[in-house]
Chains A and B, each alone.
Chain A
Amino acid sequence: MRTIGLVLTLLLGSTLTGALDAQDVRPRLDRRVSPEVQRAVQRIAADAAVQGLPIDPLVQKAIEGAAKGVPADRVIAAVRALAGRLGQSMAAVREGGVSTPGGDVVEGGADALNAGLTGREVSDLVRVSRPPQDPTLTLRVAATLAALGVPAKQVLTLLQGLISDGRSQSDLLGLPGQVQTGVAQGATPAQAAAGLARAAGGLPPGRNPDWVPPGQRKPKHKP
């Protein structure tokens, strides 16, 4: 029941925040950003809406830039870059087997891309996250682990191993905290993550870190 509740609340999150129309952009940006930024973001948002991409993150990024006192051209560049990542994420998520991705999973993929994972790695993570796993959650945890300094390939191995072991969503959500604990005790992020993989039994001792559980595709190397 808790797992269902968790999945539902994540879905609810997307219902509440994700479904912004391109027309909703203007009132949100009004008096928060300069007219120049507002015009540019409206155009970018309109293009994104046509592709079926979530608009809210673009609006948030523009407001954030303005709040931080960033010059207009840099704000616009950042919003455009984010739109690009969302598009890339959409393609990667579709490649991973989700034919009509919702806003949340596309955002999750964009976060993962921003943290340094490749499109292919995003697809791989989506592919292994069949129900009851939620690809949005997998991607968010992956992004957080990468943000903590765990190498991308290891993020994949760790998550794929835990998912194929049948671990719960709570277990996945707890990973970044455990990596941080390991780092606080003197390990590097990579060592902490490797320790978690071993402790979970997902990576037998002495095995090559590239080892993938039987029945899964081997993770592709970064070009």
Chain B
Amino acid sequence: MKTFDLRVKQLLDGDLSLADLPPELRAEGEEALRLLAAVDRTAVTLSPALDTRVMAVVRRHAKSPVGRAWRWLNTPRDVELRLRVRPWAVWAGALAAAAALALLLGRAVPAPVPGVQARGGTRDSVFVRFVLYAPGARRVAVAGTFNQWDRGAALLAPAGTSGVWTTTLALPVGQHQYAFVVDGARWVVDPSAPAVDDGFGRRNSVVAVTAEGAHL
């Protein structure tokens, strides 16, 4: 296959003009430009009914309970912890990293900075928000490697009547497995997290917590 000379390609890219090409490449350059000239640049207009169709579907999605709950979760809120969509993505700042550095250097651990702490939070933990949509549930908890799989240790609170349950926990840096427990007996994975085999025929959800935040 005979390929275009590099300078002819640069001509097509718009980096060179025909006049910049040496005489022996002019013919090839013109052939290349003719190829480009064949491009159909006419605009494409879609049917006017598109708007109506899109808005009809959008209104349906907006009305559904799942849609409402999903958007409630997604709305950015002015909360100190900057909670977002998934049950993670909360930032602990450089404090954890600084503490880690101090510990490894063998110095005394610096005193906690007031205002950054909350329920059980320490220097090297990150606040992570857990969310589950479970309408009809009477009780929802989250259990995992961070709380010895204790079904009663971390209860979620319902958010009004939306069917959405949430809680925020301070998790130590590292990798954690967890699952939700609905009504004390039903183990449910987090639908928005990766799931791994738990070795018992079920699955656990996974979250990785670092000083920069929480990741899938």
Q: Are A and B direct contacts in the complex by CB distance below 8 Å? A: yes
Instruction: List residues of chain A with CB under 8 Å of any chain B CB.
Output: 1-2, 4-6, 8-17, 32, 60-61, 63-68, 70, 74-75, 78, 81-82, 107-108, 111, 114-115, 140, 143-144, 147-148, 170, 173-174, 176-177, 180
* Contact of B94 with A by CB under 8 A: yes
Q: How far is the CB of B6 from chain A (nearest CB, A)?
A: 17
Bitwise interface map of B from 81 to 100 toward A, beta carbon under 8 Å scored 1, else 0 = 00000000000001011101
Number of A-B contacts (CB under 8 A): 119
How distant is A154 from chain B, measured CB to nearest CB, in Å? Answer: 15
Residues of chain A within 8 A (CB-CB) of B151 are: 67
| Contacts of B92-145 to chain A: CB distance below 8 A | 94, 96-98, 100-101, 103-104, 124, 143, 145
State in angstroms the CA–CA spacing of A5 and B126 once bound together: 14
Chain A to chain B: the 4 pairs with minimum beta-carbon distance, closest first: A5-B97, A13-B174, A78-B199, A67-B149
Chain B residues contacting A5 (CB-CB under 8 Å) are: 94, 96-98, 100-101, 211
Q: Which residue of B143, B173, B192, B194 contacts A10 across the interface (Cβ within 8 Å)?
A: B173
Say yes or no: B97 contacts A16, CB within 8 Å: no
| Residue B7 at the chain A interface, CB threshold 8 Å | no
Assess whether B168 is interfacial by the CB under 8 Å rule.
no
The residues of A that contact B94 with a CB separation of less than 8 Å are: 2, 5
Considering only CB atoms, which chain A residue lies closest to B145 in the complex?
A60
Q: List 13 A-B contacts (CB under 8 A).
A: A6-B210, A12-B103, A16-B172, A60-B148, A68-B187, A70-B200, A78-B198, A81-B199, A108-B175, A114-B197, A140-B208, A144-B194, A147-B196
Are A8 and B100 neighbours in the complex by a CB distance under 8 Å? yes
- Is B202 among interface residues, defined by CB-CB distance under 8 A? yes
Does B216 interact with chain A (Cβ within 8 Å)? yes
Partner of B173, one of A12, A64, A107: A12
> Would A63 and B149 count as touching, CB distance under 8 A?
yes
Report the separation of the CA atoms of residues A144 and B151 in the bound assembly, to the nearest whole angstrom: 25
Contacting residue for A147 out of B100, B103, B200, B206, CB 8 A: B206
Complex CA gap A180/B195 in Å reads 12
Out of B148, B210, B211, name the residue touching A32 (CB < 8 Å): B148
B199 contacts across to A, CB distance below 8 A? 61, 65, 78, 81-82, 114
User: Which of A2, A108, A114, A174 has a CB less than 8 Å from the CB of B97?
Assistant: A2
Chain A residues within 8 Å of B31, by CB: none
A83 to B146, CA, bound (A): 20
Interface residues on B, range: 35 or more
Contacts of A148 in B (CB 8 A): 194, 216
Bound-complex Cα distance A13 to B175 (A): 9
Contacts of B175-215 to chain A: CB distance below 8 A: 175, 177, 187, 192, 194-200, 202, 204, 206, 208, 210-212, 215
Contacts of A107 in B (CB 8 A): 175
Q: Judging by beta carbons under 8 Å apart, are B100 and A12 in contact?
A: yes
Given contacts A9-B210, A114-B196, contact A176 B100 (CB under 8 A): no
- Inter-chain CA distance A81–B143, complex, in Å, is 22
With known contacts A63-B149, A78-B199, A13–B172 Cβ distance under 8 A: yes
Q: Quick check: is B150 within 8 A (CB to CB) of the other chain?
A: yes
CB-CB under 8 A from B124, the residues of chain A are: 9, 12, 16
Inter-subunit contact A68/B200 (CB<8 Å) = yes
- B100, B195, B210, B216: which contacts A177 (Cβ < 8 A)? B216
Bound state CA distance, A37 and B85, in angstroms?
A: 39
- Complex interface: chain B residues within 8 A of A111 (CB): 175, 196
Distance (whole angstroms) from the CB of A129 to the closest CB of chain B = 16
